[in-house]
């Protein structure tokens, strides 16, 4: 039987460093890290906990892995014409859909864009990503904003259709495989 308990020394600890100086980051790290001014470097205490690269993960994975979202989105990510921080994206992923086509689409778009940032090839859905952002436009996604689209409306039906395509991608039902 597998032991699922986690010892205190195995806790996943994330450090996100922004190197604001040119040259070597010294101090306790002994100058082991180098990068030009403004280079962002993300490090995890347990590399086995990192999502695999080049494959897709579902919006459910991203919803339940906030540290990975925070590491992948260094500043902001756009949904339509609105920029959201990683913490806001995590909040959106945690929001129940409750009959809102905007949230249905936003959940799948966030996952697809995170998969892109994580190395999955999105060239096969590039038009769908652009269409999703166009459909969202200036609507602000809950709980950050109050945007709401009835799934039975013309816009809502379009959003649900594009969300289904992105869901297929995120689940590995296209040429890009789902992560093991």
pTM of the entire predicted model: 0.73
Rounded to whole angstroms, how far apart are CA atoms 133 and 131?
A: 5
Task: Provide the β-strand partners of residue 77.
Answer: 84
* Spatial contact of 45 and 14, defined as CB atoms under 8 Å apart: yes
| Residue 53, pLDDT score | 77
Nearest CA to 98 out of 45, 157, 143, 43 is that of 143
* Spatial contact of 81 and 137, defined as CB atoms under 8 Å apart: yes
b/e for 128-146, b at 16 or more Cβ within 10 A?
bbebbbebbeebbbbebee
Q: How many angstroms separate the Cα of 137 from the Cα of each of 36, 75, 79, 126?
A: 35, 20, 8, 17
* Spatial contact of 64 and 37, defined as CB atoms under 8 Å apart: no
| Residue 74, pLDDT score | 84
Q: What is the mean pLDDT of each run of 10 residues along the chain (180 residues)?
A: 33 28 30 34 48 87 93 94 96 96 98 96 97 98 98 98 98 93
């Amino acid at each position: 039987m597998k032991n699922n308990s986690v010892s205190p020394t195995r806790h996943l600890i994330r450090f996100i460093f922004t190197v604001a100086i040119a040259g070597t980051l010294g101090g306790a790290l002994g100058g082991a890290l180098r990068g030009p001014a403004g280079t962002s470097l993300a490090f995890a205490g347990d590399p086995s906990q990192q999502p695999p690269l080049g494959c897709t993960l579902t919006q459910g994975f991203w919803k339940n892995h906030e540290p990975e979202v925070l590491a992948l989105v260094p500043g902001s990510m756009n949904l339509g014409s609105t920029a959201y921080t990683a913490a806001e994206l995590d909040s959106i992923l945690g929001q129940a859909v409750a009959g809102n086509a905007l949230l249905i689409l936003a959940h799948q778009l966030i996952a697809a864009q995170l998969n892109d940032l994580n190395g999955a090839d999105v060239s096969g859905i590039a038009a769908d990503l652009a269409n999703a952002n166009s459909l969202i436009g200036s609507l602000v996604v809950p709980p950050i904003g109050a945007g709401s689209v009835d799934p039975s409306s013309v816009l809502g039906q379009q959003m649900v259709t594009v969300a289904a395509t992105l869901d297929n991608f995120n689940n590995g039902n296209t040429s890009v495989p789902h992560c093991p």
